[in-house]
Amino acid sequence: VLAMLIPFILLWVIEYLKDNQSDETSKPSAWYGYGLAILLLFICMVQTVLTQLFVRSVVGSGALLRNAIVDMIFQKSTRISSKDRLDYPDGTIFNLISNDATRLDFCLEGLGFLFTVPLIVIVTVGLLMHWMGPSALVGAAVLILSNPLQTWAMTLLNPIRIQVSKLTDSRMGLMTEILQGIKVIKFFAYEPSFWKKLTDIRFTEIKCISWLLQVRGLIYSTSSSLPVFASALSFVMYAALGNKLEPEIVFPSLAFFTGLRVPLLVLPYCYSDASDGWVSLKRIQKFLLTADIQPLPPVDMTHASALSIVGAAFYWDQLPSTTVAAELSAEGKPATTVAESASPSTTPNSSRNSIAEDGEVDERQPLLSANNTSSSTAQESVSAIKPFLRDINLHVPRGALVAIVGPVGSGKSSLLQAMVGTMMKSQGEVIRGATISYASQTPWIQNATIMDNILFDTPMDEERYRRVIKACSLEQDLMQLTSGDQTEIGERGVNLSGGQKARLSLARSVYYNAEMVIMDDPLSAVDAHVGKRLWQDCVLHELSNKTRVIATHQLHVLPDVDYVVCMKHGRIAEQGTFQDLMANQGDFFKLMKKYGGHHHDDDEGDEDKSRAQRPRRRVLKRNKSSTGKVVTSATESATATTTTTTESDDDLTVLQESDEIVSEDDDGESTKEIPKGQMADEERASGAVSRTVYRDYFRLGGDWNWIFIVFMLSAQQAAGVAMNVWLSFWSSDRFGLTVWEYIDVYVATAVVQLLIVMFGSYVLVLAILKGSKQIHDNAFHSVLRSPMSFFDTTPAGRIMNRFSKDVSTVDNMAAVNSLLITLTGILSVLILSAVFLPWIIPVMVPLTVLYYNIALYYQKTSRELKRIDALVRSHLFSYFSEALNGMGTLKAYHPHGIESAIERNRVNMDRSHRIYYIQVLGTKWIGCRVFVVGHVLNFVALVLIIWARDDIDPATAGLVLSYLARLASELSWAIQCAGDVENNMTSVERLFYYTNALEQEPPAEILDRKPVPSWPQQGRISFKEVALRYRPELPLVLDRISFDIKAGHKVGVVGRTGAGKSSLIQALFLLVPLDSGKIVMDGIETDSIGTADLRSKMSIIPQDPILFQGTFRYNLDPLQRHSEQELWQALEASDLKGYVQQQEGGLDAIVAAQGENLSVGQRQLVCLSRALLSRSKVVILDEATASVDLATDSLIQKAIRVDFADSTVITIAHRLNTVIDYNRILVMDKGQVAEYDTPHSLLSNKQSMFSKMVDETGEANAALLRSLAGC
């Protein structure tokens, strides 16, 4: 209403001036004119305050809406079914919270305009008809008809928006995989493959965004020109009907048409935001409506048992994975071809179960199919889904110690997940009589201190805390850390070794003080003597008053447990006490016969003695048989009875001893220097965005493109001014032309302006997206070429934030266009006012200075708030990522785990909301003050016009006032656009930081120093005075070490925690640059050639097998260098060929992200196949068998001795028995080579470190190892 009064005041001013100049005797009073000026100022001030209050309220509501939606998405993530979780990987969920939720926030602000703008148009048309009569209907028809046409045009963009969202999801999903598997990517020099894969997605994404922005720009161009054409048509029609254009008709009408300019200009953006919001709302709705996991039953403390499962069947609600086929293949294939069953994505690698007290074992075959099923099976009823676990009757007595065992592929993982509630129940009943804590096989570690990880948001109990630290063998580790339990351990526990993470996870489950503790093979990741302490101090002592369920491959501990449950083919084959099951000589007896030992309740010395007396075979013979194969044999299964070895067993080179004989390293991997792995604080620039950032941004978009854009925008404003000046000439008949001559010039100018706007919009989109693509690709390339230290110290969520929110901002830099349009518009107003009202120039200067200082004051705060907001968002994303990765653990700690995660996420959201709301208040603060500046200038101009009323033409006054009427909104919009541009430029700045400031690895290729394709031909390796430190300020982790490895030799690397074993691999692959010295491989210094040339010539089988979303073919050969026959040969050598052939598509069968539809054993065998495929002369095993079952371990040991017989093999040893037959043993101590000799020589010296390590494994095991070494 107040806005509608302004044209009336303009009318009254023009009439006042005409009356003043027409009749000297009846001049109106000057105070009447000054009164109009005061009235104009009052109306504008009140309108400004009301508008800012409205916008603040709407934007604040939008922020609350965004927070509520993010909270809903997070809560849904805690209960989404495993099947649907496959459709929503981390990258897609990140996109929902970073882009889709934000779009709904923006959409809310524009919804008000969608309802008010049509009302404004209708009222304005009515008032125009009051002035111009029926002529106004022509312009009104253009305005009214444009509204549904714009709506229709925007709906046509919905499919493109959906496609853009899908492509962004794909890009972010792949980015997540890259960050999670970056070490493997660098080990195998896969960077080119992943660079191409992601940039191909980005190229398609940019094409879709280009279509979206071009059509949107066309709609915007048309909308911005609508008031011009509407007014032109109305004036033409008015004149054509024989009416004379008068200033009191033209300029109030022009003011009304101009008043429609901003609403109609904003309307396409509102439609666009509404359309984007609708698409985002449907995406969020689709996610929120996905199936939930079945709710866990409430804890019934009155129930007799800690846990009871009666007549139950369970199934995985995800697509039938390859694990299902693995379970089936166990029916008719040797156990060595089937890996451990896998759990869903939330807790991969789990493999544990529970206890039954009654019921006979049903020997029917499990109802499972090896055929893959399409995603349409999601619609099948529960009754139609074949269970993975069936006929489960479990009763876990309170206070009992229960062990879950079984051969590979027996369903132990699935049963354990059924206990913690992540499997779907199709029938039966589950009664939880106790609270549960859970230590997973793949530990979930929070990016927090060691203390925070143990407390897990529960109150501190000093006494229990100290007991838990001691029981979990963490005292020595804490003593080695500078900050003790206050040490920040980094994202995913990057600063801890595998065993330390396992013990930390165990400590959390013990401290939680639940009535029942479920432990997923906690002994596999630690060595024998640490495992023994954990068993005695933690499981048997600290948890003696708790119900304990432990799944384990350590069969020698079974005599200590109360009950044993033996799984087979998804059922409980046997259950009972250890003695009863051995006496039954059933499945459990067979398992013990093959892999375990027949233990009695003897003392340890007698037990060790009996083991030492067991028969055994030599592990490795160097001479070849007549068949040409390396003759290998395996030690007999250490049982009290005679064993019958299968044909495949004869070729295995594995010591199937019941307990693992390992090196002194507690965890199999040296602890990294904690300062190296601490999370680096995210960089935050201060002050104004550097001019260099602007320069580089415009340069990437094309200098000439931007120059042309500025020229076109200036021409657009010049054409608009020319139209209105010509209209003033027409209304006063300045040149005495005919009506149609005035019309011709007026219409021609309008057409030229429209063409300028449309062509300028097209060039603008080209410039923005050209720069955006370059910025993204440069930043991604820089991240991909960053050293591992960057990924160790930078949370993945922080990197994801750059490539989601920041890239999205750079893709839509519409604020640049808006700012340029607004600045040229302000300049045109000032120039026009100065030309036609020169007395206003002295007032313009101080007001311009005031305006500039207000804007500068605001910008200083705004840019810092934007940067802080980006940092807070990164923290929000990092925790979101962390929680998603640990969802299995969080669910197991029901209900505390999920509730704690939700509360933490809400705290992070509140922190983000506070910063965002302060930004909103700052915007409204500057809006009020800038509007005041514009209104004051408008007031002063009107006062000057009244003062010079005798000398100024009414048409000129109308022209100046009509332009000044929009100055306040232009000034405010310029500040907002400038703030938006600088805020957007902080996103550019953050991406430029990744491009320019990240440390980079040495070149991938050095063209003039490329080794010959056949290098290395022998595999000789020499370390010569090699020194290594992770950062310049840190101490050496390798201290001038020297040793030589002969071609084809097998070298085992052992040593205590922190000895520097893993640092050897870092140095060999140049993941960390050498501080001094050199490494020579077959006569070439490794740092003299490109990193890709070096790494691609070696193979590594890592401790944690990493696979990527795609196919078996892609995971085996991302660079597409091998034939299909070679791929099958590699799979056959790793005993995976038959399994892959069973899958639909064979080599092209789908592998889920991180290999989640494969078990840990299968993943490790794929990694083995990958290494076999490369046929490298240098092969490294980094604790490759630390977390796999004995069957997979056997296959890997066989490959080392058969398939890698002619290769140089370096093994970071977890079990001493795996390297006891090697050519050499390298003993590391405090970053130096303590010993380097044959196993026989080292064991012959009783004082050697290696000899002491062997002795510490126990008398019987030491005797066994010495005999295997020929001592």
Alpha-carbon distance 963 to 958, whole Å? Answer: 9
> What is the reported pLDDT for 1191?
65
**Selection from 3, 30, 6, 2 nearest residue 16 by Cα:** 30
Percentage of the chain exceeding pLDDT 90: 17
Amino acid 719 reads A
Q: What is the pLDDT of residues 1009-1056, one digit of tens each?
A: 899 988 999 999 999 999 998 878 778 889 999 999 999 999 999 887
CB 560 within 8 A of CB 535: yes
Q: Which helix (H) or strand (E) holds 1051?
A: strand 1050-1055
Q: Using alpha carbons, list the distances in angstroms from residue 222 to 261, 582, 823, 1084.
A: 11, 85, 20, 66
Lowest-pLDDT choice from 124-138, 248-262, 542-556, 738-752: 248-262
CA angle 549, 554, 559 (to 5 degrees): 70
Better-predicted residue by pLDDT, 245 or 350:
245
> What is the reported pLDDT for 687?
64
> What is the reported pLDDT for 621?
31
b/e string for 51-82 if b means 16 or more Cβ within 10 A?
bbeebbebbbebbeebbebbbebbbbbbebbb
Hey, where are the domains in the chain?
Answer: 2-290+702-996, 300-362+384-434+555-611, 436-548
Q: What is the pLDDT of residues 119-154, one digit of tens each?
A: 877 887 788 787 788 888 887 788 777 767 777 777
Give residue 876's pLDDT band: very low, low, confident or very high (50, 70, 90). confident
Q: What is the pLDDT of residues 801-835, one digit of tens each?
A: 889 888 988 998 878 888 888 888 888 888 888 88
The answer to whether the 2-290+702-996 and 300-362+384-434+555-611 domains have the same CATH topology is: no
Alpha-carbon distance 1258 to 1262, whole Å? Answer: 6
Mean pLDDT over 641-647 rounds to 30
Alpha-carbon distance 101 to 68, whole Å? Answer: 9
CB 473 within 8 A of CB 533: yes
- Which tokens in the block code for residue 71? 């909270």
CATH for 436-548, options being 3.40.630.30, 1.10.132.20, 3.40.50.300, 1.10.3720.10: 3.40.50.300
Q: Strands 547-551 and 516-520, how do they pair?
A: parallel
Alpha-carbon distance 554 to 552, whole Å? Answer: 5
Better-predicted residue by pLDDT, 619 or 1251:
1251
Q: How many Cα atoms within 13 Å fall on the side-chain side of residue 106?
A: 18
Better-predicted residue by pLDDT, 795 or 363:
795
Q: What is the pLDDT of residues 228-259, one digit of tens each?
A: 777 778 888 888 887 877 777 777 777 777 67
Over the chain, what is the mean pLDDT?
Answer: 78
Better-predicted residue by pLDDT, 512 or 923:
512
CB 371 within 8 A of CB 1144: yes
Q: Is the pLDDT of residue 1255 over 50?
A: yes
Q: In what order do the strands lie in the sheet with 1038-1045?
A: 1038-1045, 1021-1028, 1076-1081, 1084-1085
Give residue 775's pLDDT band: very low, low, confident or very high (50, 70, 90). very high
Q: What is the pLDDT of residues 8-41, one digit of tens each?
A: 777 787 777 777 766 655 667 778 888 888 888 8
Mean pLDDT over 984-998 rounds to 90
Give residue 656's pLDDT band: very low, low, confident or very high (50, 70, 90). very low
Q: Strands 1110-1111 and 1021-1028, how do they pair?
A: unpaired
Secondary structure of residue 308 in the 3-state scheme: strand
CATH says 2-290+702-996 is which class?
A: mainly alpha
Q: What is the pLDDT of residues 1114-1151, one digit of tens each?
A: 989 888 888 999 999 888 888 888 888 888 888 999 88
Q: Is the pLDDT of residue 507 over 70?
A: yes
Distance of CA 480 to the CA centre of its chain: 32
Q: Is the pLDDT of residue 349 over 60?
A: no
Mean pLDDT over 829-849 rounds to 84
CA angle 22, 27, 31 (to 5 degrees): 135
Q: Is the pLDDT of residue 401 over 90?
A: yes
What sign for the dihedral angle of Cα 983, 984, 985, 990?
Answer: positive
CA angle 349, 572, 577 (to 5 degrees): 100
> What is the reported pLDDT for 1188?
62
CATH 1.10.30 fits 300-362+384-434+555-611, yes or no: no
Mean pLDDT over 1161-1174 rounds to 85
> pTM score, two decimals?
0.67
Q: Strands 1224-1229 and 1050-1055, how do they pair?
A: parallel
Lowest-pLDDT choice from 107-116, 521-530, 622-631: 622-631
User: Beta strands of 280-418 (E only): which ranges?
Assistant: 305-315, 389-397, 401-405
CB 955 within 8 A of CB 251: yes
Q: Strands 1178-1182 and 1232-1237, how do they pair?
A: unpaired
CB 80 within 8 A of CB 293: yes
Q: Which long-range contacts (CB under 8 A, 24 or more apart) does 950-957 make?
A: 950/20, 950/21, 952/17, 952/837, 953/732, 954/14, 954/17, 954/18, 954/21, 954/247, 954/248, 955/247, 955/250, 955/251, 955/728, 955/729, 955/731, 955/732, 956/728, 956/836, 956/837, 957/13, 957/14, 957/17
> What is the reported pLDDT for 562?
92
Secondary structure of residue 390 in the 3-state scheme: strand
Bond from prior residue into 1016 cis (ω within 30 degrees of 0): yes
Alpha-carbon distance 434 to 546, whole Å? Answer: 10
Q: Is the pLDDT of residue 1268 over 50?
A: yes
Q: What is the pLDDT of residues 897-917, one digit of tens each?
A: 888 889 988 988 888 888 888
Maximum average pLDDT range among 290-294, 453-457, 549-553: 453-457
Q: What is the pLDDT of residues 274-332, one digit of tens each?
A: 888 888 889 899 999 988 877 777 888 888 888 888 988 888 665 433 333 333 333 33
Report the Cα–Cα distance between both ends of the chain, in Å, rounded: 102
Q: What is the pLDDT of residues 184-213, one digit of tens each?
A: 899 989 999 999 999 999 999 999 999 888
CB 220 within 8 A of CB 761: yes
Q: Using alpha carbons, list the distances in angstroms from residue 742 to 538, 628, 723, 959, 1087.
A: 96, 102, 10, 17, 78
Give residue 368's pLDDT band: very low, low, confident or very high (50, 70, 90). very low
